[in-house]
Each structure stands twice: as structure tokens, then as C-alpha cells.
């Protein structure tokens, strides 16, 4: 048995033991090759339950967090989902197996360029991307049945995102100061102005920041090598 595949099966069993029971989410994680979304030097760790750096201060989230967030969204194949923080593209690839269309925003253009190339290579045609300020969402495409935020809001979740949910819609977002304990929160929009909130689990994410990252921020040569993939 291929070692990566064996590691993947062990990861699936690990996720089951830690409360991931949605068979569609588990199937998506089994089908999407995480090794394609991590730097070459970390391929042997692709199916460990840990976050991995991808450059520009960003990470690919640990599989248990990806699975927990995906399960909490309660997705079906008719839904339109907004993702804030494309990063490596791994979470978007998982979502693309679970919903009708993914709209994914990223403030770092170099990361988005790499993610888009991965989507093309994997023939993921139901992902639409945008370089932009994720805190403002994607108003022209709203409302969304589901929203997922892969960076931590320092205070409450941005109201502009909450109000881009459809009635009955769900948003999953980490909240808490950078470098300290954060909590994954599941919001449900129950009416025009009312939302419920449920705490899911402690997490640690990079901070949710406004605006598009400066165009002067380029990938250093070592990061280009770090992010290279065959």
C-alpha cells in the first residue's frame, strides 16, 4: 500500500474518533489529495493532523479543523458557499465536493495565483476566486447559504459577512485575539436581524485582516521554492 494512502486512511480513522461523522465530509477528505496543497518539503507530513506553513505567514489548517468546519456548515450539493481566505486552496477543494459553487476570497495575490493553478490542474470547475478584502465579503454574489472564514476575527464576526447570509444560513468563523486562545463559532441567521451563536472548539488561526495585502509583498525566492509543486 502506498505510504501516503496508508497515512490518509489513518487520518480518516483519526477524524472519526474525534467526532467527524458526516460521511460526505470524510469522503471529500479522502478524495482530495492534501499533498498537492502543501510545500514539497512537507509531503511526507501531508496526512498528519497538523497545520503546515505555506508562505506569507499563512498556513494550511490541520485536517481536524478543516473537517470540523466543513461538517458544521451542514452542506448539500445545492448550496452556494463563500470562503474568506483561500490560502493553499485545500479547504475550497474540500467544499467543492460538498456544495454547488464555492466563492473564495484571498488578500494575498501570490497565494491565490498558486491556488488557482491547483484548481485548474485538479479540474475543480465550481470554484470562483477573487483577490479582495474578505472582511467586506462579496456583496455582488450575496446572499450565500453558507460562509466559512479561515482567519480569526479579533472581536465579533464582521457584520458585513453576517448580513451576506441568507435567512437560515450558517457561518463558521474563529474568534479571538492573535496568539491567544480562539474559539470556533457557528452562527445561524434566524431572521433579518437575529443570529444564534454556538461555540464549537478551541482553535488557532492567523488573524483576519482588512484590505488587500500590499502589492510590494512578494514571495521571497525561498518561498517560491517552498511553494513549488510538480
Q: Which of 84, 80, 114, 112 is nearest to 96 (CA)?
A: 80
**Per-residue pLDDT tens over the stretch 123-150:** 999 999 999 999 999 999 999 999 999 9
Return the SS3 of 169.
strand
Q: How far, in Å, CA of 50 to CA of 43, rounded? A: 13
Determine whether 61 is an active site residue: yes
**Per-residue pLDDT tens over the stretch 141-177:** 999 999 999 999 998 899 999 999 999 999 999 999 8
pTM score > 0.85 for this model?
Answer: yes
Q: Are strands 101-106 and 80-84 parallel, antiparallel or unpaired?
A: parallel
In the chain, the domains with their CATH numbers are 3-211 (3.40.50.150)
Catalytic residue among 3, 21, 61, 214: 61
Question: Across the chain, how many H-helices and E-strands are there?
Answer: 7, 9
Amino acid at each position: 500500500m502506498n505510504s501516503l494512502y496508508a497515512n490518509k486512511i489513518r487520518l480518516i480513522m483519526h477524524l472519526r474518533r474525534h467526532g467527524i461523522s458526516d460521511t460526505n465530509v470524510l469522503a471529500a477528505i479522502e478524495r482530495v489529495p492534501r499533498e498537492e496543497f502543501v510545500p514539497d518539503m512537507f509531503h511526507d507530513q501531508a496526512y498528519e493532523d497538523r497545520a503546515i506553513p505555506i508562505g506569507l505567514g499563512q498556513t494550511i489548517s490541520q485536517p481536524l479543523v478543516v473537517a470540523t468546519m466543513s461538517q458544521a456548515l451542514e452542506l448539500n450539493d445545492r448550496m452556494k458557499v463563500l470562503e474568506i481566505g483561500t490560502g493553499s486552496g485545500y479547504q475550497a477543494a474540500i467544499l467543492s465536493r460538498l456544495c454547488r459553487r464555492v466563492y473564495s476570497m484571498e488578500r494575498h495575490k501570490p497565494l491565490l495565483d498558486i491556488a488557482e493553478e491547483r484548481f485548474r490542474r485538479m479540474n475543480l470547475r465550481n470554484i470562483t476566486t477573487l483577490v479582495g478584502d474578505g472582511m467586506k465579503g462579496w456583496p455582488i454574489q450575496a446572499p450565500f447559504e453558507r460562509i466559512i472564514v479561515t482567519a480569526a476575527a479579533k472581536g465579533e464576526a464582521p457584520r458585513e459577512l453576517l448580513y451576506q447570509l441568507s435567512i437560515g444560513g450558517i457561518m463558521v468563523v474563529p474568534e479571538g485575539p492573535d496568539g491567544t486562545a480562539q474559539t470556533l463559532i457557528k452562527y445561524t441567521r434566524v431572521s433579518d436581524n437575529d443570529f444564534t451563536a454556538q461555540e464549537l472548539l478551541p482553535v488557532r488561526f492567523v488573524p483576519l485582516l482588512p484590505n488587500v495585502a500590499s502589492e510590494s509583498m512578494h514571495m521571497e525566492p525561498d518561498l517560491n521554492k517552498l511553494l513549488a509543486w510538480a
